[in-house]
Chains A and B, each alone.
Chain A
């Protein structure tokens, strides 16, 4: 069955309107009625999820419907929906994951005094992300892109009375804004080049302009590069990656949402949305591939030493986002988006189950969780393990298929950049398997007691509620099912997944196997031998501190900005202001001099006048 265009448009609008209305009503009218607010938001989430799923399933040709939002001169700035395969897929991912997270949150946030606000913000988040996914227009895309950032700011900083939460939220907002600035410039450049704000039309025009030599390839490269900087910021790629691990300060459901279907996914989706543009910009594409592959490896390494379970998943997100982006940069649209889809599911699953454990045992420390008996929470552990297996890329699980698709896509690209990227990705996959194994073993086979970790803020000592368990279970099933969704995604996007040739798969599988083996060796047996990285304390320290990237940023960029601020503040208070005051003081001093010149000596007064008159007389004499 295929729905007709008006129906689909209406569905899309409903999907957009529902969360916005829920946000407004919950935020304004239901401040003191958290249960009603939660119910309303979940209802809207369910509506949106159904609508997006229907749009995903029951459409064929791309639909674009734009209404004029405002007219500036001759330019129409539109608001509308673009329902093509990419946005339909993304929309459905957003709708489903958000709904599950919302349901989960009824349990997780049950005791939080600010839960009305929480649910309202979740709705806002969903609206923003969906609006971005469905955006047919550059400006609309940017608007919702910004709103996504804003919503995540408020959600990361949800517990705003905690300094670290606020710091993390600020960091997230400002670092992504660095990317946004580049992206805005890129969008304007794109607009200037193509002359339209319509995304698809502008891409078409770029193509023909480039062929007709209306524009240079350098201009396209610059525009693409600028957009890519936006992606880097939003998707937390190196070098703008440090905000994401800190974003853990938000409630765990937020992390689940942020890391899977929204926020960071926005960056990936932007890349996918402008895939055609990047195809026209080979240089940018190669650079992007290298950078993201490098990020994938780097983040996997860093994930391998974390003891905070949420941090492990956070670094793993960065690594996986790198993988997706590498796939997209390699031209594998369906590979990248397929990985986005599977990752959304299993990462949400991983976070939600981690949240359930944290909620129950009151700690985020992997070792402490293990010792506290995390393995007794059967359902939660099941979900966690399924997600972990998917993340590790164990054949048969969701992540395997999508990751292999990405690896193959990268491998299929000729050139040394792609080869390097492939190598980086494979090594990254190995480490991914390693840290996944590490987490699994630390939870399942607890080690001896160690100094107690501080209690995390959102611990309530409750086993997961039904709602939480239901969400986890649903996501587990989805994750399992997605292992077989590759062909569907490929046919939806109209680009087949690359053939899984054995030659390409071997390195990946081998890396995963090796990683798992090391993990078993390190954590799977009763042994006092330190694990892999702890054998090299220097490296371990380096990894724990994220290669000091954050510290360097603090020193260099934040420091430079502070220095700049200090210098300008100095200029203001010590130069400009005193200059103005000095001018005033000088005038006053002149005034004092003038008044003092009025000495009270009559003869001097007359003398001055006489002298000047004499001058006039002399002047006249000379003039004659």
Chain B
């Protein structure tokens, strides 16, 4: 049972949250949120507990290996942050607040299943499970124009992508005669390669990389803040994880390397350029997420074990450094409003904790030491240069420089601006406080001592598929 503890914990949490939201009374949203946090803690504990578990239940369609358990740890961390953010009472209308934790945990369950799936149909189901939860989460502001709009766009784009994926699955299946990832073989026929490309499009959509990136800014903006937190953190881990698993199985054919290289370079460039002039903080984070997807792809482009490990490491790092800004947004965006840069003005005076969180997060996203963003980039780049991808690293580093422009502007807003007199005082729930402190501590620890987590990532990337 230990092997499946995280999944069970996530499922249990989802059910518990759902049950709690069924209750009646004014305290229900709070209760649900607390159950959600509790569930997230349990899930995280379960993920930690099951970290070393190894199993192959369900007749070979599902594995519990180093990779999956590493991913689940990352997902559980992201879920915890999202659940903590979900305790913020102002971010969503009360009637929907009960749904929020439920859906978060449901999505987490989907992501966890995704990270363990080694068979195409299982994988498809898990992908859809996590996606549906996210679609609903993105549209949870259905009382607002943009809520339903963002949800609709996300969903339709996602549905088209998943239809493409499943079409690709059928082609793969037909041409290789198997749905087991490990049996796909590293030298599939060209028609199967097309199937593979179509199949990957769904995964790339999940990671929001070019050319499947366009939903990200809209969905980030439309989604309630805790939901955006989940999309922006845990979901990335799952997406990178499954890409790692698939690529490990099918090998890196020249075609894939080229496609991923283009996607990587285009994503980081488009993402950073798109973010440059954003004034809405969440949109900005959405664009920047596209760029970070591009960075993470570097690890997959270079097709080495160390590259995959670097991508996985970066995914987890991204949870830590990406969480901070979302927490800030959650705290600032009362009533589900999306804070823009003007709302950040004078943040350092209004709430030093949030300002510090923002600063650390921005430095982290920009890859500045001593945040783990630096180590994350460095490892990716080492893996890339090891395979001769000098120019790719140069492009990525130049992109990181460009990204500094908008990250630093947020910092400047927070640190220099004058507090507008009508700005309401910032009240942080204890959970939010806890989340902020946790994120800061994790950033500092992971930034100063990336070694242990890297070891896990390296283990995860080390050919964990049953051959």
Task: Give yes or no for direct A-B contact (beta carbon below 8 Å).
Answer: yes
Which A residues fall within an 8 A CB radius of B? 584, 587-588, 590-595, 598, 600, 602, 605-606, 608-609, 612-613, 616-617, 620, 623-624
Residue numbers in A under 8 Å from B211 (CB-CB):
608-609, 612
Q: Is the CB of A591 within 8 A of B212?
A: no
Residue numbers in B under 8 Å from A608 (CB-CB):
211, 214
Chain B nearest Cβ from A591, distance in angstroms? 3
Residue numbers in A under 8 Å from B125 (CB-CB):
none
Residue numbers in A under 8 Å from B102 (CB-CB):
none
Chain A nearest Cβ from B423, distance in angstroms? 27
Residue in B157, B193, B255, B270 whose beta carbon sits within 8 Å of that of A602 in the complex: B157
B313 contacts the other chain (Cβ, under 8 Å)? no
Residue numbers in B under 8 Å from A594 (CB-CB):
270, 273-274, 276
Which B residues fall within an 8 A CB radius of A? 152-153, 156-157, 160-161, 164, 190, 193-194, 197-198, 201, 211-212, 214-215, 217-218, 255, 259, 270, 272-278, 287, 402, 405
Residue numbers in A under 8 Å from B160 (CB-CB):
606
Chain B nearest Cβ from A622, distance in angstroms? 10
Residue numbers in B under 8 Å from A590 (CB-CB):
273, 276
Chain A nearest Cβ from B267, distance in angstroms? 12
Q: Is the CB of A588 within 8 A of B156?
A: no
Q: Is the CB of A591 within 8 A of B193?
A: no
The answer to whether residues A605 and B157 also contact, given A587-B276, A612-B211 and a CB cut-off of 8 A, is yes
Residue numbers in A under 8 Å from B273 (CB-CB):
587, 590-591, 593-595
Q: Which residue of A lies closest to B401 (CB)?
A: A587
> Bound complex: CA of A514 vs CA of B434, how far in Å?
105
Residue numbers in B under 8 Å from A593 (CB-CB):
273
Chain A nearest Cβ from B169, distance in angstroms? 15
Residue numbers in B under 8 Å from A623 (CB-CB):
190, 255
5 residue pairs, one from A and one from B, having the closest CB atoms: A591-B276, A605-B214, A594-B273, A594-B274, A591-B273
Q: Is the CB of A617 within 8 A of B194?
A: yes
Residue numbers in A under 8 Å from B198 (CB-CB):
613
Q: Is the CB of A605 within 8 A of B194?
A: no
Residue in A591, A609, A617 whose beta carbon sits within 8 Å of that of B274 in the complex: A591
Q: Is the CB of A602 within 8 A of B153?
A: yes
Chain B nearest Cβ from A131, distance in angstroms? 51
Q: Is the CB of A605 within 8 A of B190?
A: no
Chain A nearest Cβ from B131, distance in angstroms? 16
Q: Is the CB of B277 within 8 A of A620?
A: no
The answer to whether residues A609 and B201 also contact, given A591-B275, A594-B273 and a CB cut-off of 8 A, is yes
Q: Which residue of B lies closest to A609 (CB)?
A: B211
> Bound complex: CA of A293 vs CA of B376, how far in Å?
76
Residue numbers in A under 8 Å from B272 (CB-CB):
591
Residue numbers in A under 8 Å from B164 (CB-CB):
613
Chain B nearest Cβ from A594, distance in angstroms? 4
Q: Is the CB of A588 within 8 A of B277?
A: yes
> Bound complex: CA of A600 vs CA of B255, how far in Å?
31
Q: Is the CB of B194 within 8 A of A620?
A: yes
Chain A nearest Cβ from B142, distance in angstroms? 18
> Bound complex: CA of A593 vs CA of B277, how far in Å?
10
Q: Is the CB of B190 within 8 A of A609?
A: no
Q: Is the CB of B157 within 8 A of A616?
A: no
For this complex, 14 residue pairs linking A to B, each with C-beta atoms less than 8 Å apart, are: A584-B405, A588-B276, A591-B274, A591-B277, A592-B276, A594-B270, A595-B274, A600-B218, A602-B152, A609-B212, A609-B214, A613-B198, A620-B193, A624-B190
> Bound complex: CA of A600 vs CA of B194, how far in Å?
29
Chain A nearest Cβ from B361, distance in angstroms? 21
Chain B nearest Cβ from A624, distance in angstroms? 4
Chain A nearest Cβ from B255, distance in angstroms? 7
Chain B nearest Cβ from A35, distance in angstroms? 57
> Bound complex: CA of A588 vs CA of B156, how far in Å?
31
Q: Which residue of A lies closest to B204 (CB)?
A: A609
Residue numbers in A under 8 Å from B277 (CB-CB):
588, 591-592, 595
> Bound complex: CA of A606 vs CA of B212, how far in Å?
8
> Bound complex: CA of A608 vs CA of B278, how far in Å?
22
The answer to whether residues A613 and B274 also contact, given A602-B156, A608-B211, A620-B194 and a CB cut-off of 8 A, is no
Residue in B215, B255, B274, B278 whose beta carbon sits within 8 Å of that of A620 in the complex: B255
Q: Is the CB of A620 within 8 A of B197?
A: yes
Residue numbers in A under 8 Å from B274 (CB-CB):
591, 594-595, 598
Q: Is the CB of A616 within 8 A of B212?
A: no
> Bound complex: CA of A602 vs CA of B159, how far in Å?
12
Chain B nearest Cβ from A592, distance in angstroms? 5
Residue numbers in B under 8 Å from A605 (CB-CB):
153, 157, 214-215
> Bound complex: CA of A258 vs CA of B90, how far in Å?
83
* Apart from A591-B274, A594-B274, A605-B157, 14 more pairs, CB < 8 Å: A587-B273, A587-B276, A587-B402, A591-B275, A592-B277, A595-B273, A595-B276, A600-B218, A602-B157, A606-B156, A609-B214, A613-B198, A617-B197, A623-B190
Residue numbers in B under 8 Å from A588 (CB-CB):
276-277, 405
Q: Is the CB of A606 within 8 A of B157?
A: yes
Residue numbers in B under 8 Å from A602 (CB-CB):
152-153, 156-157
> Bound complex: CA of A594 vs CA of B278, how far in Å?
11
> Bound complex: CA of A595 vs CA of B274, how far in Å?
5
> Bound complex: CA of A588 vs CA of B287, how far in Å?
14
Chain A nearest Cβ from B271, distance in angstroms? 9
Residue numbers in B under 8 Å from A587 (CB-CB):
273, 276, 402, 405
Chain B nearest Cβ from A595, distance in angstroms? 5
Q: Which residue of A lies closest to B266 (CB)?
A: A612
Residue numbers in A under 8 Å from B161 (CB-CB):
609
> Bound complex: CA of A147 vs CA of B238, how far in Å?
73
Chain B nearest Cβ from A77, distance in angstroms? 43
Residue numbers in A under 8 Å from B217 (CB-CB):
598
Q: Among A592, A609, A617, A624, which residue has the most Cβ atoms of chain B within 10 A? A: A609
Q: Is the CB of A620 within 8 A of B190?
A: yes
Chain B nearest Cβ from A182, distance in angstroms? 45
Residue numbers in A under 8 Å from B214 (CB-CB):
598, 605, 608-609
Chain B nearest Cβ from A452, distance in angstroms? 63
Residue numbers in B under 8 Å from A591 (CB-CB):
272-277
> Bound complex: CA of A612 vs CA of B275, how far in Å?
23
> Bound complex: CA of A593 vs CA of B274, how far in Å?
8
Residue numbers in A under 8 Å from B402 (CB-CB):
587
Chain B nearest Cβ from A621, distance in angstroms? 8
Q: Among B164, B214, B278, which residue has the most Cβ atoms of chain A within 10 A? A: B214
> Bound complex: CA of A598 vs CA of B255, how far in Å?
28
Chain B nearest Cβ from A90, distance in angstroms? 62
The answer to whether residues A616 and B190 also contact, given A591-B275, A598-B274 and a CB cut-off of 8 A, is no
> Bound complex: CA of A510 vs CA of B297, how far in Å?
98
Residue numbers in B under 8 Å from A609 (CB-CB):
161, 201, 211-212, 214
Q: Which residue of B lies closest to A584 (CB)?
A: B405
Q: Is the CB of B276 within 8 A of A616?
A: no
> Bound complex: CA of A595 vs CA of B214, how far in Å?
10
Chain B nearest Cβ from A138, distance in angstroms? 49
Q: Which residue of A lies closest to B152 (CB)?
A: A602
Q: Which residue of B lies closest to A590 (CB)?
A: B273
Q: Is the CB of A616 within 8 A of B215?
A: no
Residue numbers in B under 8 Å from A606 (CB-CB):
156-157, 160
Chain A nearest Cβ from B403, distance in angstroms? 11
Chain A nearest Cβ from B341, distance in angstroms? 14
Residue numbers in A under 8 Å from B152 (CB-CB):
602
Q: Which residue of B lies closest to A599 (CB)?
A: B214
Residue numbers in A under 8 Å from B278 (CB-CB):
595
Q: Which residue of B lies closest to A618 (CB)?
A: B194
Q: Among B273, B278, B402, which residue has the most Cβ atoms of chain A within 10 A? A: B273
Chain A nearest Cβ from B37, distance in angstroms? 35
Residue numbers in B under 8 Å from A624 (CB-CB):
190
